[in-house]
Amino acid sequence: MASRLPTRRRFLGSAAAGAAALGLGASIGGRATAATGDIAAAPVADGLVLFTGAGGNVLVAEAPDSLLMIDSGVEEKAEALMRAIADRFGGRPVATLFNTHWHLDHTGGNALAAAQGAQILAQDNTRGWMGNAFYVAWQERHYPAREPAARPTASFDRTGEMDFGGRQILYGHLPRAHTDGDLYVRFPDADVVAVGDVVSPGAYPVLDYSTGGWSGEMIDSLAMLLETSGPDTVFVAGAGQPVGRAAVQAQHDMMVEVQARMVQLMRQGKGPADMMAEGMTADFDADWGDPSLYLYNAYQGIYGHFRDMRFA
C-alpha cells in the first residue's frame, strides 16, 4: 500500500481547524459542544438526571446522602454546573465523579468538583493522559499536564463495580474507540448506560487517533454495547439527547460499511482527499453530517493498524 499520509492542514483547511478544538466552544465532527446557554436538567430514569449546557453531557445519580456524577463539562461552565446540581439535589455533595475520557469538554470541571470533595475515577489510560503533556496531531495542539487537582484520584484497567446508596454501578473500558481510555458506566436497575463520546447520535464520531482512538475498535466497542444491552436500554452519549439501541446499531453499521470502503480505496493507494472527491460517504452524509474530519481521522487510525487488521 502506497504511503499517502496527508497533513491535517492540507486536507481539512482553515475552515475545519476551528471545528477540531476539543472542549473549547467549537463543534466536534459537526456536533455543537459550545459552552454557552443555560444549564438545563431533565430526568433520564428514577434517580438519574441529565444536565446539558455545560459543554458536554453530565449525568448525575442520586443517593440519600450524596451524588455520583459522570463527566464535568468545560471549565468555563463548572461553577454554573455545580450550582445547578446543588440546587436540584438540595446541596447533597458529589462523592464520586467518573471521567468517560480525557477531553476538556468532559473533564473541565474536575478541579472544582474535587475541591468540593469528589473522588475522581477514570480508566488507566485517561489518568495517564491527564497526568502528562502530549501533542494531538489532528488539532496541531500541545496539551500540558492537567493541574493535580483536576486529575483522577483513582483508575482501573478493565472493569469495576461499586455500590452507591444501595444501587449497583458497573463500569468498564471501551478500548481504543474515541480515545484509548473510554469507559462506560451502567445502571442495571434503570437499564441506562453512560458511554461518553463512543456513541455519537446524528453526527460522525470523532476518532482521536493521537490518543489511541480508531474506527476498528470503536466498531468493536459498539458491538459490545449492543451485545450487553436489551431492547429498552437507554444510552447517554457525550452530547445530544439519550438514545436507544437503534441509534447505536445505526452508528455501528455505518462505521462497518465506511471502514470497508475506506480499506478498499486504501489498497488502491488513495487517501482521504480522494475519498471525499469520490463521494465515498455520500449515502450517509444526510444522516451523519460533514464527513471530512471523520474520514481524515479514520484514515490515520486505519493506516496505523492496517497490518494488524484481520482483513488486511
Grid cell listed for 124: 488507566
pLDDT value, residue 306: 78
3-state secondary structure of 117: coil
The pTM for the full model equals 0.91
Strands 234-237 and 192-196: parallel
- Give, in order, the Cα–Cα distances in Å from 209 to each of 125, 148, 284, 300: 14, 25, 22, 7
Selection from 88, 65, 59, 50 nearest residue 165 by Cα: 65
pLDDT value, residue 9: 60
Dihedral angle sign, alpha carbons of residues 135, 138, 141, 145: negative
Kind plus residue range of the DSSP H or E element containing 128: helix 124-130
Q: Answer with the residue of higher pLDDT: 10 or 81.
A: 81
How many helices and strands, by DSSP H and E, does the chain display? 10, 16
Task: Name all domains of the chain by residue range, CATH numbers in brackets.
Answer: 18-308 (3.60.15.10)
pLDDT value, residue 251: 98
pLDDT digits (tens, 9 = 90+) for 24-41: 333 343 354 445 579 999
The answer to whether 18 and 284 have CB atoms below 8 angstroms apart is no
3-state secondary structure of 273: helix
pLDDT digits (tens, 9 = 90+) for 207-259: 999 999 999 999 999 999 999 999 999 999 999 999 999 999 999 999 999 99
pLDDT value, residue 305: 86
Q: Which residues lie across from 164 on neighbouring strands?
A: 167
